[in-house]
Amino acid sequence: MWSAEKLKRGQKQPLTDRDLIEMSPFLADLVGRGVWQEPDFVSGADDGAFDPADDHMPSFHNFRREFKQIIHDPEAALVALRRLRVRTLLAVARADLEERIKPYQIRARLRSLAEIMVQGAWWVAEATLRERYVHPIILERRNINPPVAICSLSRLGAGDPWYTTGPVPVFVHSRAAEFAPALTEKDFTAARRTEKEWLPAREYFLRLASRTMSFLAAPDPAGKGYDQMAEDHGIPGPPLLPGALVVLFASFEKHFMNRRPLNQRLALIRLRFLVGQPRLGHAIEQAARTALLKTVADLGSRIKSGVNAWYRDRAKAEGMPMNRGSLLDIERCLRLLQFQYGLEDPDLLTPSPLKALDRMARAAIISGDERLILRRAYGWQWFVANRLSLLGSRADMDGDGLRSGRLDAMSGLAGAADRTVKHMRAAREVLARMARDTKKLP
């Protein structure tokens, strides 16, 4: 457990890696387990690679360029991926605790890190598979973007991930001519001559997803496999969203409409394309929107009870309270508005709650003042929840944590409880006015 004294010292002089790891159960767990465990992290010693006085974050652009040169060496590539994750999280956490970074910058950095981790793991998985197997769609063609796209259904998809957020990926592949390259007889001849093995497309992409997820996650001491990977690190209980779902694009909409429970169909509002073929990725986003609109239309007047049940499950999955005016309550009400008006204006069905606020204000669904109050309340509570993801438990944002002052102590933010209560009260008043207006909130 971290100490307030150590954090106060960190505001006067840079926090060391040892300080950060001792403060954060999440970081301690991240660097203390896994196949790619490094002795310097286990001991907490600084080796110069993680200079606590360095304000600069690792360069994702440079990493991508250098990483492409080593993807055919899985061990070196995975070590590089893990080091990037640890270096970035340490740098962001240090800047966060030393108050040198804005909340929107934290969101952007965590989002970019998660995306490059998924991309890197996918690149390595693809490279190792293609050493042994012929690609079922592009055969032996190189320097071509295969018709595969990876999307996210977690907070990463919504654009506001926490330190602990997992990707919850959906792997989608397609054989449709609009996404797959035109193959020539020369391509088929080259594929037949190779000594590599052939796999059915379904099996190939299942292995691709399996390897990608295994490269992303350290082995779980409880023995859970990659497909049971929770959407949030350290939250007990079964995952709310599907893990490493693999589906053919032609079956995507039918799969969610016919084979997935309501809460996972509603979660399609958070689906966002991460990496892979952009054309296919954007088509998946459109298919998700279509499936979502059909779900909303089918529910009709039952949409409110469906969303309420979904967010009760979300509160358990994220370890967050559902007090009136809280982060999840604001998000729940925004989703209701998106579903209500999205049938007429699908552009409102954006994964990001903050972007949804902006678009609803432009569409005159909410006023500018309402947007500002809700945006401030959401942004502040996201910042506190993210800080608690690093230092403790988001459950400390409940009523007891606010009344007792425990939130201030656990977050390291003086006055956090009072400020949170103030924002919740303001948001609660806005949401109550909107609830009285049946045209705004069902």
CATH of the domain at 293: 3.30.460
Report the percent of the chain where pLDDT is more than 70. Answer: 85
pLDDT surpasses 80 at 229: no
Higher-pLDDT residue of 247, 3: 247
Answer yes or no: is 313 within a domain.
no
Answer yes or no: is 126 within a domain.
no
341 and 440 assigned to the same domain: yes
Q: What average pLDDT does this structure show over 61-81?
A: 93
Higher-pLDDT residue of 132, 53: 132
95 and 181 assigned to the same domain: no
**Are residues 361 and 371 in contact, defined by beta-carbon separation less than 8 angstroms?**
yes
> How many C-beta neighbours within 10 Å does residue 55 have?
12
pLDDT surpasses 80 at 325: yes
Answer yes or no: is 209 within a domain.
yes
pLDDT surpasses 90 at 296: yes
328 and 290 assigned to the same domain: no
Domain CATH for 442: 1.20.120.330
Q: Which residue, chain included where needed, has tokens 């457990």?
A: 1
pLDDT surpasses 60 at 294: yes
**Measured CA angle at 418 (ends 414, 423), to 5 deg:** 120
The pLDDT of residue 64: 93
* Residue 60: both structure tokens together: 């994702």
Confidence of residue 218 (pLDDT cuts 50, 70, 90): low
The pLDDT of residue 227: 43
Q: In what order do the strands lie in the sheet with 245-248?
A: 245-248, 169-173, 148-152, 272-276
Mean pLDDT (the chain, rounded): 85
Answer yes or no: is 109 within a domain.
no
Which run of H or E residues covers position 274? strand 272-276
20 and 153 assigned to the same domain: no
pLDDT surpasses 80 at 209: yes
Decide which of 269, 299, 329 is a domain's last residue: 299
Q: Is the dihedral of CA 211, 212, 213, 215 positive or negative?
A: positive
259 and 343 assigned to the same domain: no
pLDDT surpasses 60 at 220: no
The pLDDT of residue 48: 33
The pLDDT of residue 110: 96
> In the 8-state DSSP scheme, what is residue 180?
S
Confidence of residue 394 (pLDDT cuts 50, 70, 90): confident
95 and 154 assigned to the same domain: no
Measured distance between the N- and C-terminal CA atoms of the chain, rounded to whole angstroms: 44
Q: What average pLDDT does this structure show over 64-74?
A: 93
Higher-pLDDT residue of 55, 130: 130
257 and 376 assigned to the same domain: no
- Number of domain units in the chain: 3
The pLDDT of residue 406: 86
Answer yes or no: is 401 within a domain.
yes
Give Cβ neighbours of residue 273 (< 8 Å, ≥ 6 apart).
Answer: 149, 150, 151, 281, 282, 284, 285
Decide which of 249, 270, 299 is a domain's last residue: 299
144-185 pLDDT, tens per residue? 889 999 999 989 999 999 999 988 889 999 999 899 888 889
348 and 289 assigned to the same domain: no
Q: What range does the domain containing 289 cover?
A: 136-299
The pLDDT of residue 142: 83
Of 80, 82, 84, the closest CA to residue 72 belongs to 80
The pLDDT of residue 436: 76
Each as own residue / partner, the long-range contacts of residues 39-46 (CB below 8 Å, 24 or more positions apart, any chain) are 41/17, 41/86, 44/17, 44/18, 45/18, 46/16, 46/17, 46/18
Confidence of residue 223 (pLDDT cuts 50, 70, 90): very low
Of 175, 66, 166, 165, the closest CA to residue 123 belongs to 66
Task: Kindly list the distances between the CA atom of residue 33 and the CA atoms of 17, 39, 41, 164, 389, in Å, as whole numbers in the listed order.
Answer: 16, 11, 10, 15, 18
367 and 420 assigned to the same domain: yes
Of 308, 164, 170, 311, the closest CA to residue 231 belongs to 164
Beta bridge partners of 151: 170, 273
Backbone angles phi, psi at 247, to 5 degrees: -150, 145
Backbone angles phi, psi at 188, to 5 degrees: -65, -40
Confidence of residue 319 (pLDDT cuts 50, 70, 90): confident
Decide which of 299, 330, 350 is a domain's last residue: 299
46 and 92 assigned to the same domain: yes
238 and 281 assigned to the same domain: yes
Answer yes or no: is 380 within a domain.
yes
268 and 365 assigned to the same domain: no
pLDDT surpasses 60 at 239: no
Answer yes or no: is 312 within a domain.
no
Instruction: Quote the CA–CA distance of 114 and 159 in Å, as a whole number.
Output: 11
The pLDDT of residue 399: 80
pLDDT surpasses 60 at 34: no
**Are residues 319 and 393 in contact, defined by beta-carbon separation less than 8 angstroms?**
yes
Answer yes or no: is 310 within a domain.
no
pLDDT surpasses 80 at 39: no
Confidence of residue 214 (pLDDT cuts 50, 70, 90): confident
pTM: 0.88
> How many C-beta neighbours within 10 Å does residue 115 have?
19
Task: Kindly list the distances between the CA atom of residue 167 and the CA atoms of 262, 362, 434, in Å, as whole numbers in the listed order.
Answer: 20, 30, 33
